[in-house]
Amino acid sequence: MEIFFDTLYILSKDEEAHQLRIPLSCILDYKGFRCLAVAIIPLDEYALRLGLNIDNNFVHDQSFKKVLSEAGEILGLKDVKCLFRGLAVHENIPISTHIKVYVYQKGDNSDDNHQNSPTNKSKEHHFFELQYEVKKNQDLGYVLNTKYMYPIDSDLNEVTRTQERYLRPEFLCQYDRALKADTKKQPPQGVENRYKEDQDILEVNEASKTLKQKILPNLSSLFDSLTLIPLDSKSISETFHSYGVNMRYLGRVALYSNLYHVQDICINEMIVRQLKQLLNSQISSSIREFESDAFNTENQSMKQIPLNRNPRSIMKNGRSLLNSNSERELRGVNRNVDRSVNFIDPLKNNVSEEHQNVDLFEEDAAFSKDKCVEWYLDFLNLAMGNGDETKEFYHEVVYPRINAYYYYPLDKLMDYEINHTALYYSLIYHCGIKVKNEEDIFPRFGNTDKPFEDNNTVK
């Protein structure tokens, strides 16, 4: 998203009558749930300037089409040539047939002097220099459905393929051939066929092969030569992404490397990412189960539905995900964006009942927070302890999941000696938690079943 924003910013010109933006967005992680928050833009269907409308007829504005095509050239994305329903000839669509551009035209200049106008408010912040100055006679277009704008990372030789894996924009920008983003994706309604799709599939497969056979070994050799020295989770993630490599290739990079340091940090990162997914899955499912029971049962108190603190519950949950054929479940249910829970429906409750439910929610939310803190401590002890339960957890849940997702050999994992200090700092970074009195914890790593005690409050 940031690269696409930078591309549009570079292409923007003051004298142009059309400007393109993408809505502000961010990913939120909270108590095991993950969602994508996108700014609400004051647009309607009549403002569509590029894309399929509600009648599945293609609408295109040549000016916006030109800007989007130029952005596609910078990002290494070819126009999609396809035939729309009701048309006799193929149309060239920039980047993807799924993308839509809506225009919002600025009104008169009387709003410019208002203290809450976007132009004046943006001057209060440090990122003002990155804002577009939209003049009265300029049309401001917002690009939506950008999740479809990158090609699928697939290989004809792979047994299992999924549409959830995409090539990174950093890789596309440095790849020597432009690709089509819609290749091997389900076309939207209204698109009859795509031109020379078989050739596009071969080109995308060739790009995926180049990533695996050239980019990954090259990245590993840079690690081995100490040209790149990743030290923690943040640095290794930034390094992978800057070279256009997804983190799902951690296992392959570790196998290519000959240095123990590189292998160690890659294995540590794979472990932490699986621990995070298991943790989020368990907490979110416990919260959903509680909220469903608490709000569907009259006068039900949360204190009668405690969160499950038994460490074996996460083992059971991990095994069930491992036995599933769905990669979405394997990656952890926290990957689902649409995970909302309906606490209160104002249309079905009168005012007094609604206030009662709000009071119940506020009272139990604090209790839920306390229970989550306790559960975090139990999980950290399970992940960082040295007892039989911890060994069983890694050998039967964590390591098989790493083998299934990262394609890293189980025998190498079974022989791996966990670096508890590195694992701890990575968990703190990925899970966004803080531990009090942590100076007392380090001497207990590897020496006790429960290195975390009640005085090590997690927040």
What's the predicted TM-score (pTM) here? 0.78
pLDDT for 224: 95
For the chain of 459 residues, list the mean pLDDT of each consecutive stretch of 10: 77 72 84 82 79 80 86 89 73 84 63 44 41 63 86 72 77 92 78 74 91 95 94 94 95 95 96 93 77 52 44 61 50 38 32 42 53 81 90 93 94 92 92 83 86 76
pLDDT for 192: 66
According to the 3-state scheme, what is the secondary structure of the chain?
A: CHHHHHHHHHHCCCCCCEEEECCCEEEEEECCEEEEEECCCCCCHHHEEEEECCCCCEEECHHHHHHHHHHHHHHCECCEEEEECCCCCCEEECCCCCCEEEEEECCCHHHHHCCCCHHHHHCCCHHHHHCCCCCCCCEEEEEECHHHCCCECCCCCCCCCCCCCECCHHHHHHCCCCECCCCCCCCCCCEEEECCHHHHHHHHHHHHHHHHHHHHHHHHHHHHCCCCCCCCHHHHHHHHHHCCCCHHHHHHHHHHCCCHHHHHHHHHHHHHHHHHHHHHHHHHHHHHHHHHHHHHCCCCCHHHCCCCCCHHHHHHHHHHHHCCCCHHHHCCHHHCCCCCCCCCCCCCCCHHHHHHHHHHHHHHHHHHHHHHHHHHHHHHHHHHCCCHHHHHHHHHHHHHHHHHHHCCCHHHHHCCCCCHHHHHHHHHHHHCCCECCHHHCHHHCCCCCCCCCCCCCEC
pLDDT for 24: 84
pLDDT for 234: 93
pLDDT for 130: 43
pLDDT for 189: 74
pLDDT for 237: 95
pLDDT for 64: 84
